[in-house]
A and B are shown apart, each in its own frame.
Chain A
């Protein structure tokens, strides 16, 4: 079974702190994704990566950056956390781009910025 793990289930940070969210997948997947999920807004794509060191902006990249130095690991970085970044963050991975491709999700990190 594919496993996607995220470094923390719950995280509390203060405004202005630099925050790192880590995601690791164990199935040699090419693609990795970071979403945030907010009530009433559903899942929104922040960034994705289709290869090591490659990244593409999603729908809401402002205030975030990402890093993919190794195939299995995709990091989301909040350079200076703000209260409006309080949210559930979900990481996902997938094998390829095709129409039938399946995304596998981690359990999520609930981030609170005070």
Chain B
């Protein structure tokens, strides 16, 4: 399975945009890029996914590099409730499993 690399932690100020990077240099053509987050004392929750084009939903935006070797999760206006561990995961059609890395711990400063 292709792997992802994320920074261990990041800090951001409240109400500012946050860009969370993810490197996946061994991504294959059929791998989708998924993002989940885990709020304190909760189970992970889905955030967004994409294949090649940039994606937007009510929670976030996903910007995917043209060569697909990296991607960035964008929180447009971070709030204190966005403080969580964010996981970037690659997934192909043949795999039931999500392969979880360590994720990025996002700290939001008031």
Contact = CB atoms under 8 A, between A and B. Distances in A.
A42 B97 contact: no
Nearest to B101: A42
Interface stretch (A68-76, A78-86, A97-105): A97-105
B30 interface: yes
Contacts of B96: 31, 33, 48, 50, 56, 97
Contacts, number: 54
A105 B97 contact: no
Interface stretch (B18-26, B44-52, B59-67): B44-52
B80 to A, nearest CB: 20
Contact of B43 (A97, A102, A107): A107
- Mostly, the B contact residues are loop
A30 to B, nearest CB: 10
Contacts of B14: none
A11 B38 CA distance: 21
Q: Which size class do B's interface residues fall under? A: 20 to 34
A90 interface: yes
Nearest to B92: A99
A45 interface: yes
A58 B93 contact: no
Interface in B5-55: 30-32, 34, 36, 41-46, 49, 51
Contacts of A56: 96
A27 interface: no
Nearest to B103: A42
Contacts of B32: 99-100
A34 B51 CA distance: 27
A111 B42 CA distance: 15
B43 A42 contact: no
Interface of A: 4, 31, 33, 40, 42-45, 48, 50, 56, 58, 90, 92, 97-108
Given A40-B102, A107-B41, 10 more contacts: A33-B96, A42-B101, A90-B44, A97-B96, A99-B51, A100-B49, A102-B34, A106-B43, A108-B41, A108-B42
